[in-house]
A and B are shown apart, each in its own frame.
Chain A
Amino acid sequence: MNIHEYQAKKILNRYGIFIPRGKVAYTPNEAKRAAVHVSLRGPWMLKAQIQSGARERGFFIDSKSKKGGIRLVKRRRDIVREAEQMLGETLVTEQTGPAGKLVSRIYVEAFQKVRKKFYAGMVINRVVPALTLLIANIEDGGKDIMTKAVENPKQILKIKLDLKKGATLRQIEKVRRFLELNEPSRKHIATLIQSMHRAFIENDATMIEINPAGVTKRGRIIALDAKMSFDKNALYRHPEINRLQDDYEESSRELKAQKYGFQYSEFDDGNVGCIVNGDGIALAAMDFIKTKGLGACCFLNVKGGVDRDKIAAGIKIIMTNPKVEGILINILGGFLRCNLIAEGIIAAASEVGLNVPLVVRFEGTNKEVAKEILINSRLPLIIADTLEESVDKLIAAMEESE
């Protein structure tokens, strides 16, 4: 689960990390008031609050101006106009996909002059597994962080941290030297690293990214940007973080699926709706659909669901998506029993009707019972025995119904 920059900054600030003075605004007028509040004379930073990186290099859909989602504003009288160009508009970045994300609020900050910038990230290296600190220098006009990661991973310092104790003095010193920070920054880099670690551990985070952190003339270190993601499996122990979830960031179908404990994703890729019970089968099905010249527009992963009514509600999410012209159901039952899916299909179809071809393929726990339920239902659906057969049968049925 992700949160916005201003929320992440507030959390990190509570752990002792310096941040520029800032205030969130939902309207252009609020932005103007916020600007005066954070700095009398400016300049100011106006920052679109969407959960994505690369906002500065992004662009707004249908906008005449080529400016991105992060703007430096020098004159107070320009604030309203700049805010108007961002609020209520859709920002596209390399991380949002072509549909972009709606900007419902902006963060107005006092511009902070720095003499040096660097990247600081904290993430879990899954394979080791270990909490890992990532540090890299950022040169003005230099290569971006991803290019460095791919071309020359050595340009990024990676340090394994102890889960409970965080960084040792030696590790902190290593970071200081790597960044060529001078004496006055010594205590600030230590604070930054230890505060990131505490914020990570105490909130069950999965990622913290300060990109960039800035070093002032006097050696203070300030988070100029901040991102935090959290472990959704641990949100039950952090109700205050759970409340920060921004429903604007998810489509209504995604939200509905989440409510039932399912995972739903939409793509601009075709018109097949897929219902599966795992990521692996979802991806394999998608790969195969693609080889046949079709694409998937949405996926519902019912995981190990065991409640028939919830499964029916989930299936309805797909059945009522207007983009769907054919439905493919591939269930490999283990924990999940196929008969529950069969009952869910019938319940959903009887409520919203079945207007597009539907192919079902069951394998595993209670498969035979499930097939019988479907046959007895007399619904116009097609049964298949393998993944490939199910895709072939769906394509044939979709061509026929055209």
Chain B
Amino acid sequence: MAILANNNTRVLVQGITGTQASFHVRRSLDYGTKIVAGVTPGKGGTEHLGIPVFDSVAEAMQQTGANASVMFVPAPAVRGAAQEAIEAGLDLTVCIADGVPIQDMLEIRRMLKDSHTVLIGPNTPGIITPGEARLGIFPENIHRKGRIGVVSRSSTLTYEAVLEINRAEMGQSTVIGLGDDMVIGMDFIEALDRFADDDETDAIVLIGQLGGMFEEVAAEHYKNMNHKKPVIAFVPGNTVPFGHKMGYAGDIISDGKVSAQDKKDALSDAGMVVVDRISHIHGTLQKILS
């Protein structure tokens, strides 16, 4: 089971022939991920790393039965690649690129509204279900199969969370990096819902980030969930020194609630266990699940 990706997920790679794509596709294949197709316009009919390459996502889906994709295309090409993935009707698409223009993401979000596709990212390490599928750039060797779900807005702290779960002598069901851009696809709410429905997940580690009100909204949702699982949450940035600001609009839109403490308070009020240090996760996990 796990969520969103497992060993039945048939993955196609958009922009498969690039250097970085090749490096990570090889690793994902070694990990056992079912990568069935690549898409690079103009290179249809060729093979790359032993995988058939097609000109379009639709063609690759038809020929190989792919149902998910990883985009390794550069930021300016993301809008087009996402549109292709959404229009072709993939269940899941993961966008690795850093630097996608915000308006492009707003347009992508509008396309997603009328489709069933789930988009993870951009600017994310992706999603990994240990022992089954790696869609993205996760350092796969640190992951262990287990029953803790991870969802994080911070890429680097996702890895810290995974190491903490390992320290607790537990493992991960699925690990999702939501990405840390201004506008993202999947959010905490969807991840919490999916983990709640997954019978291979016992508890969730949630890592927040400064900026936006994603944590506040997630807290409100968690409070109202009918059947929920324990969540351990961490938000860095308690001691963040003064950063230069420009105007007030950014603070007004979040009702002046912008600090890590505001987020932690919201998560804690909703019934999540908030830890002050990332290294407290393993002990807290052991306590909660014993």
List B contacts of A127 (CB < 8 A). 187, 212-214, 217
Q: A365 in the interface, Cβ–Cβ < 8 Å?
A: yes
CB contact between A280 and one of B76, B236, B251 (< 8 Å): that residue: B236
Given A304-B98, A363-B159, residue A123 in contact with residue B253 (CB < 8 A): yes
* Nearest opposing residue in chain A for B207, CB measure: A280
CB contact between A283 and one of B105, B110, B237 (< 8 Å): that residue: B237
CB contact between A207 and one of B98, B100, B247 (< 8 Å): that residue: B247
Given A332-B160, A364-B142, residue A280 in contact with residue B155 (CB < 8 A): yes
Q: A269 in the interface, Cβ–Cβ < 8 Å?
A: yes
Q: B17 in the interface, Cβ–Cβ < 8 Å?
A: no
Given A334-B138, A387-B278, residue A278 in contact with residue B106 (CB < 8 A): no
List A contacts of B252 (CB < 8 A). 121, 123, 134, 145-146, 149, 156
Tell me what chain B mostly uses at the interface: helix, strand, loop, or mixed: loop
Given A122-B249, A149-B251, residue A97 in contact with residue B244 (CB < 8 A): yes
Q: Chain A 270-286 against B: per-residue CB contact (8 Å), 1 yes, 0 no?
A: 00000011111101101
**C-alpha spacing A52/B242, complex, angstroms:** 13
**C-alpha spacing A14/B103, complex, angstroms:** 21
Are the CB atoms of A53 and B246 closer together than 8 Å? Answer: yes
* Nearest opposing residue in chain B for A122, CB measure: B249
Q: A322 in the interface, Cβ–Cβ < 8 Å?
A: no
Which of A168-176, A187-195, A230-238, A309-317 forms contacts with chain B? A230-238
Are the CB atoms of B96 and A335 closer together than 8 Å? Answer: yes
List B contacts of A163 (CB < 8 A). 103, 106-107, 110
**C-alpha spacing A129/B211, complex, angstroms:** 13
Given A51-B246, A280-B157, A334-B159, residue A387 in contact with residue B279 (CB < 8 A): yes
Q: B227 in the interface, Cβ–Cβ < 8 Å?
A: no
Are the CB atoms of B155 and A278 closer together than 8 Å? Answer: yes
Interface size class of A (residues with CB under 8 A): 35 or more
Interface size class of B (residues with CB under 8 A): 35 or more
The smallest beta-carbon distance between A370 and chain B, in angstroms, is: 12
List A contacts of B237 (CB < 8 A). 283, 286-287
**C-alpha spacing A37/B126, complex, angstroms:** 58
Are the CB atoms of B245 and A281 closer together than 8 Å? Answer: no
Tell me what chain A mostly uses at the interface: helix, strand, loop, or mixed: mixed
List A contacts of B24 (CB < 8 A). 335
Q: Which of A88-137 contact B (CB under 8 A)?
A: 95-98, 121-127, 129-132, 134
Q: A206 in the interface, Cβ–Cβ < 8 Å?
A: yes
Q: A268 in the interface, Cβ–Cβ < 8 Å?
A: yes
Q: B238 in the interface, Cβ–Cβ < 8 Å?
A: yes
List A contacts of B253 (CB < 8 A). 123, 125, 132, 134, 158
Q: Chain B 89-127 against A: per-residue CB contact (8 Å), 1 yes, 0 no?
A: 000000010111111111101100000000000000100
List B contacts of A363 (CB < 8 A). 139, 142, 159, 163
The smallest beta-carbon distance between B177 and chain A, in angstroms, is: 9
**C-alpha spacing A334/B136, complex, angstroms:** 9
List A contacts of B107 (CB < 8 A). 163
Q: A386 in the interface, Cβ–Cβ < 8 Å?
A: yes
Given A201-B103, A233-B101, A335-B125, residue A124 in contact with residue B183 (CB < 8 A): yes
Would you give 21 A-B contacts (Cβ < 8 Å), ordered by A? Answer: A53-B245, A123-B250, A127-B187, A134-B253, A149-B256, A209-B248, A211-B248, A231-B102, A267-B241, A280-B156, A281-B154, A284-B157, A286-B237, A286-B240, A286-B241, A290-B238, A332-B159, A334-B138, A335-B125, A365-B139, A386-B163
Q: Which 6 A-B residue pairings sit nearest by Cβ, starting from the closest?
A: A280-B154, A364-B139, A278-B156, A283-B236, A150-B256, A281-B156
Q: What is A's interface to B at a CB cutoff of 8 Å? A: 2, 51-53, 95-98, 121-127, 129-132, 134, 145-146, 149-150, 153, 156, 158, 163, 201, 204, 206-209, 211, 227, 229, 231, 233-234, 236-237, 265, 267-269, 276-281, 283-284, 286-288, 290-291, 295-296, 303-304, 306, 332-335, 363-365, 367, 386-388
